[in-house]
Structure 1
Amino acid sequence: MRPLPPLSPSILALCFGLLAPVIQAGPQVPIRLNGQPLQPAWETLAQDRFAAELELTKGTLELGTGEAEHKPLKPFQRHALSAGDRFDFDVVKPGRYRLLVQTGDDANLRLLSSRQSQEPVEQACQPWNGEAVQVPVAGVFEDGQRLRDAYSGNTTIVKDGKVELTPAPGSNGLLLIEAAGGRPERARDWRNATVYFALTDRFANGDPNNDRSYGREPDGAQEIGTFHGGDLKGLTSKLDYLAKLGVDALWISAPYEQIHGWVGGGDKGDFRHYAYHGYYALDYTQLDANMGTEADLRELIKQAHARGIRVLFDVVLNHAGYSTLADMQQFGFGGLRDGMAQYLPERWTAWQPEPYEHLHAYHNLVDYDHPAWSRWWGKDWVRAGIADYPVPPSVLVDPLKGSLAFLPDFRTESETPVRLPEFLRHKQPTRAVERDGYRVRDYLNEWLTTWVREFGVDGFRADTVMHVEPTAWAQLRQQADQARRDWSEANPDDPLAGEPFWMVGEVFGHGPEISDYQSNGFDALINFAFQQEVAGAASDCLVRADKSYGHYASLLADNPGHNFMSYASSHDTSLFSAQHDLERQRGLASALLLSPGAVQIYYGDESARAFGPTGSDPYQGTRSDMNWSEHTKPEIAALIDHWQRIGQFRARHPAIGAGRHQQLSNQPYAFSRVQGNDKVVVVQAGALVNR
């Protein structure tokens, strides 16, 4: 085969060539304190994300060298970063701060106040000698009251405002103290939710017959971006496992129909990247065949509800999936460049690059100015920069109308009524119906809330929230609330009928603080600060989390209705187990599960799931297969048991997530959480090792 004609990199980028930003050695952001330059050591968090610790005295911190008007730098808030910007921050409280910088197409920065670990490390993490400890509990429990350590099951009596207990072997020096005896029913509180995020395709394979739907194939190599077989039946089969972890909400990757084919993966196009993760939607009204059937979804939700577990869908309002050779051929949209058909096999998706090419080279075959692109989503639906479609601006210029990673950006702000996209008008099967007067967001909201009305989905985790207009999110929430009421009325015997809908949003880099997003439909936002500020240090010993715990609990107590969801690992940041040893993975259980506010376990946090093959995309390795085969290993079984004990304790006590926090002693470290008549005391006698 002779070489294909070249296509310029700029055109590749315009036509969703998935070109990654240039990787820098570190962010080029000049930093000065009171006019003196600072040269911090940068930590690489991911391909284009960096962090630096700053020890600041009183004065003025300056970031950037722009000559334009200086912008105020607000702690914990995300600030877009472009050439010529300059930010000023008045340092009123001296101390340690953390600067997070993201480069590339979505460049931004965020300044955090590091509240944890003000004490020297050698004082913060004292080793435990294995002996009994005395703990002050006055003001929480009364003299003569019998208490129980939920970890070991041992009991004791309060005497002179104190109790004496010995932490169980393998507990990491923990005492989880609660009132002994009967446990009255307590109202569930989303501030105490334990959400388990399972990337469905990588979690459990319940039906191998659906593994190769739509002609999807394994690549026979590392299977970095292919479908691995996880499905809804697999999730259902593991609900008892999740219940033992104390999980009361299951967040699953978007199960609706994704693009059928692949795009070139990573910067180097070194693997076939399918939509196994659920973020490349094709038809919002159908389940993806790899996920299973509608009967499978109904059974998952029925069985989850029977165990008190809510089911959350991951939803995307910002963008559709890429075009692929498979979908172009099947649905008849787009077109090839003159003479290029001879380079395609009968099944276009089976195309192979030449040895001197990579997988991005398939764009050389495609004519992105062909008039038949109107048969795809259409110019009234998305910005894509092809044919006569609108060209999306840079997300730095306009985060609402810009294109993320060259994905086709839905025109959710448009007030113009639109017809169904042509490919959906002819696609079978689909439930997409032409609606008079519907705008883009009206269709999307109807499609997404139908899963609530018809199947009883309990909530949404909303993707890329900052890149969609707040009014669109508010409309989605309003319609979801009505859909939830309709479902409850039609299913009065379901254990969770009558419960309100819940929606948590991903605003990248957001911390636990209040923001306007929660006035536009969101019950909570993901707390990115926990991963950076708390998880690693507190996994050594909990005392390092106390300042953050106090701050989190105060935010909740002082702001009724406020919530956030903390995490330590995720699919698009990093995997805790890839950076820490098994002992810290045990410590993470207490650091995360005893944190105020909702928390999210990423599948395998509890079993030290390993980082997987990643190619030229550093995030793919965070999405490895769940390590079920390792669960019988003694060290992994013990780790899971440790997570289960703490998770069950959290599940019994809404005060852990929603109560007021008070430190009771420093050595041993002890704190109380109190919400009404629900009271607990947590003690860590000391770290097993002195780190």
Structure 2
Amino acid sequence: MVTGMSATGWAEHVVWWHLHPLSFLGAPRNAPPDGTPAQPRLRNLEPWLDYLVELGCNGLALGPVFASESHGYDTVDHYRVDPRLGTEDDLRRLIDECHRRGVRVLLDGVFNHVGRGFGPFRDVLARGRDSAYTSWFRLSFDGGLDYADFEGHRNLVALNHDEPAVAEYVAGVMRHWLDFGADGWRLDAAYAVPLPFWRDTAGRIPGGWFVGEVIHGDYPAWIRDGGLDSVTQYELWKAIRSSLNDLNFYELSWALQRHDEFSRDFAPMTFAGNHDVTRLASALSDRRHLGLALAVLFTVAGVPSVYAGDEQAFQGVKREAEFGDDDIRPPFPPAPGDLAPYGWPTYRLHEQLIGLRRRHPWLHRARTRPLHLANKQFAYESVSVDGAHRLVVLLNAADHGHDFALDTAPLRTVLSHDGAADATFVPGPGWSILEPV
């Protein structure tokens, strides 16, 4: 039995709007020379706070904001705000403005690896074997200094998570920024870190919500053995996209069975896009399926997250090359009113679906049950844990309409892609969400 349910009750009601601050705010690609005055770019997020609230979100999930060498995931000082984004005062102002609107703030903690300019590693480079920090890293001095890195990226130096001083340092960072006002942490590359390390750091810190970036594997282990509150639900993310592209809803049905197993004990972080993957609008072979993907995201259990720009149907392809994230992490305009007009219908769709979820908070821990399953059509019901509430979701990925002959009590349409009132007939491609009469 997994026993890692979060003590932070607000997590049951949060919907995150997630962004990568350095790219969102148009910061330079590389950190400026030491002594360069900080640029208060974080203040430029303030016009977007009302935008995310109007969208229906009540959480701001920030990518890295701490001093780094380039993209933020090569941290050099976890206690200092990146000068390309501003100062500690600018971060405090942003958190205060969020809290004033009832918006929670999630920070991005990069604790698997650090940049080469990280103070303890600089000391190793300068002093070699005589450094007091040799135990902080996985080093070899045979034939010169060598070190373990993160997935072959030599500018990302892997920390030694068996070293107690590293655990003490990371726990100190987490506590510091939670005390500062942050509400929780996304733990980058949590899958690459031994579970006991998370248990000894995040697992022992009260008052925050901790979600680990986990791509595959035994998700509940990060809760049970790692002491985290949640993990990223990449299995569901993958199934949503590929089931639509392959016209194979059997994959999604299987993934929802797995999702139900996870959701019995914790609420995974669910998403249709994030800062590391091709944009949803570009990933779907048929962009008319975008509404079907979102209907799933907002009607199954979990803690949903919307990647900034996906709600405007931004396009962008992730490339496995240098600067391959540029297309999926573009700079945003100064204010929401400067966005292109073509994206607002997708924004309104997000508003409607998030609003539906707000009216049915039991979806946070819902169970799903398939009612009709074929390659191009899928109907499932989401049911509250106590069985008192339910919604029925109809997905039709075909080009033609489909009448779902469901053996259920009478249903009425509460939301559909075309506003149609016919409860069981769904034009193709399209979706509909129903509830008992």
- TM (norm. structure 1) is 0.48
Residues 370 and 251 of structure 1: CA distance in aligned 2, closer, same or farther (over 3 Å): closer
The 2-side partners of 1:370 and 1:550 are apart by 50
Match of 2:192 in 1: 467
The 2-side partners of 1:563 and 1:690 are apart by 28
The 1-side partners of 2:272 and 2:238 are apart by 8
What SS does the aligned partner of 1:238 have? Answer: helix
What is the one-letter code of the residue matched to 1:286?
A: R
The 2-side partners of 1:376 and 1:606 are apart by 49
Match of 2:18 in 1: 197
User: Which of 223, 231, 236 is the equivalent residue of 1:530?
Assistant: 236
Contact 2:236 2:256 in 1 (8 A): no
Are 2:314 and 1:504 equivalent residues in the alignment?
no
The 2-side partners of 1:516 and 1:232 are apart by 32
Contact 2:40 2:86 in 1 (8 A): no
**Which piece of structure 1 moves more, 515-524 or 312-321?**
515-524
Q: CA offset at residue 522 of structure 1?
A: 0.7
User: Which of 311, 316, 320 is the equivalent residue of 1:611?
Assistant: 316
Match of 1:405 in 2: 153
Are 2:119 and 1:320 equivalent residues in the alignment?
no
CA offsets 1:55-108 (integer angstroms, 9 cap, x no match): xxxxxxxxxxxxxxxxxxxxxxxxxxxxxxxxxxxxxxxxxxxxxxxxxxxxxx
Please show how residues 187-586 of structure 1 align to structure 2 within 5 Å: 190=11, 193-204=14-25, 214-215=32-33, 231-259=41-69, 275-276=70-71, 278-323=72-117, 378-383=133-138, 385=140, 391-392=146-147, 404-406=152-154, 407-415=156-164, 439-453=165-179, 455-481=180-206, 484=207, 501-510=208-217, 513-538=219-244, 545-556=252-263, 559-560=264-265, 562-580=266-284, 581-586=286-291
Q: CA offset at residue 539 of structure 1?
A: 8.3
Match of 1:17 in 2: none
What SS does the aligned partner of 2:316 have? Answer: coil
What is the one-letter code of the residue matched to 1:502?
A: W
Contact 1:195 1:601 in 2 (8 A): yes
Residues 662 and 280 of structure 1: CA distance in aligned 2, closer, same or farther (over 3 Å): same
The 1-side partners of 2:137 and 2:357 are apart by 44
Match of 2:406 in 1: none
Contact 1:653 1:678 in 2 (8 A): no
User: Which of 288, 295, 307 is the equivalent residue of 1:590?
Assistant: 295
Residues 387 and 238 of structure 1: CA distance in aligned 2, closer, same or farther (over 3 Å): farther
Q: CA offset at residue 239 of structure 1?
A: 1.4
The 2-side partners of 1:601 and 1:384 are apart by 39
What SS does the aligned partner of 1:250 have? Answer: strand
Does 1 or 2 have the higher relative contact order (CA < 8 Å, sep 6+)?
A: 1
Match of 2:400 in 1: none
What is the one-letter code of the residue matched to 1:600?
A: S
Residues 384 and 567 of structure 1: CA distance in aligned 2, closer, same or farther (over 3 Å): farther
Residues 452 and 467 of structure 1: CA distance in aligned 2, closer, same or farther (over 3 Å): same
RMSD, aligned CA:
4.1
The 2-side partners of 1:548 and 1:319 are apart by 31
Match of 2:345 in 1: 638
Contact 2:183 2:209 in 1 (8 A): yes
What SS does the aligned partner of 1:563 have? Answer: coil
Match of 1:650 in 2: 357
Contact 1:196 1:251 in 2 (8 A): yes
Q: CA offset at residue 380 of structure 1?
A: 3.4
Contact 1:507 1:525 in 2 (8 A): yes
What SS does the aligned partner of 1:320 have? Answer: strand
What SS does the aligned partner of 2:108 have? Answer: strand
The 1-side partners of 2:388 and 2:98 are apart by 26
Contact 2:282 2:317 in 1 (8 A): no
The 1-side partners of 2:313 and 2:330 are apart by 11
What SS does the aligned partner of 1:571 have? Answer: coil
Which ranges of structure 2 fall in alignment gaps of 5 or more residues? 1-7, 395-424, 432-437
Contact 1:661 1:671 in 2 (8 A): yes
Which ranges of structure 1 fall in alignment gaps of 5 or more residues? 1-186, 217-228, 260-274, 335-368, 396-401, 416-438, 485-500
What is the one-letter code of the residue matched to 2:295?
A: S
The 1-side partners of 2:350 and 2:248 are apart by 15
Residues 403 and 668 of structure 1: CA distance in aligned 2, closer, same or farther (over 3 Å): closer
Q: CA offset at residue 316 of structure 1?
A: 1.6
Contact 1:333 1:376 in 2 (8 A): no
Residues 687 and 473 of structure 1: CA distance in aligned 2, closer, same or farther (over 3 Å): farther
Residues 388 and 236 of structure 1: CA distance in aligned 2, closer, same or farther (over 3 Å): farther
CA offsets 1:341-386 (integer angstroms, 9 cap, x no match): xxxxxxxxxxxxxxxxxxxxxxxxxxxx975568999423323557
- Of Structure 1 and Structure 2, the greater helix share is in 2
Are 2:426 and 1:686 equivalent residues in the alignment?
yes
- TM (norm. structure 2) is 0.73
What SS does the aligned partner of 2:389 have? Answer: strand
Residues 234 and 630 of structure 1: CA distance in aligned 2, closer, same or farther (over 3 Å): closer
User: Which of 587, 593, 600 is the equivalent residue of 2:305?
Assistant: 600
Residues matched between the structures, number: 382
Q: CA offset at residue 244 of structure 1?
A: 2.2
What SS does the aligned partner of 2:106 have? Answer: strand
The 2-side partners of 1:670 and 1:516 are apart by 28
The 2-side partners of 1:230 and 1:586 are apart by 37
What SS does the aligned partner of 1:408 have? Answer: strand
Bigger Rg, structure 1 or 2: 1
CA offsets 1:401-437 (integer angstroms, 9 cap, x no match): x77523222223124xxxxxxxxxxxxxxxxxxxxxx
Q: CA offset at residue 505 of structure 1?
A: 0.6
What is the one-letter code of the residue matched to 1:651?
A: R
What SS does the aligned partner of 1:214 have? Answer: coil
Residues 664 and 372 of structure 1: CA distance in aligned 2, closer, same or farther (over 3 Å): closer
Match of 2:383 in 1: 673
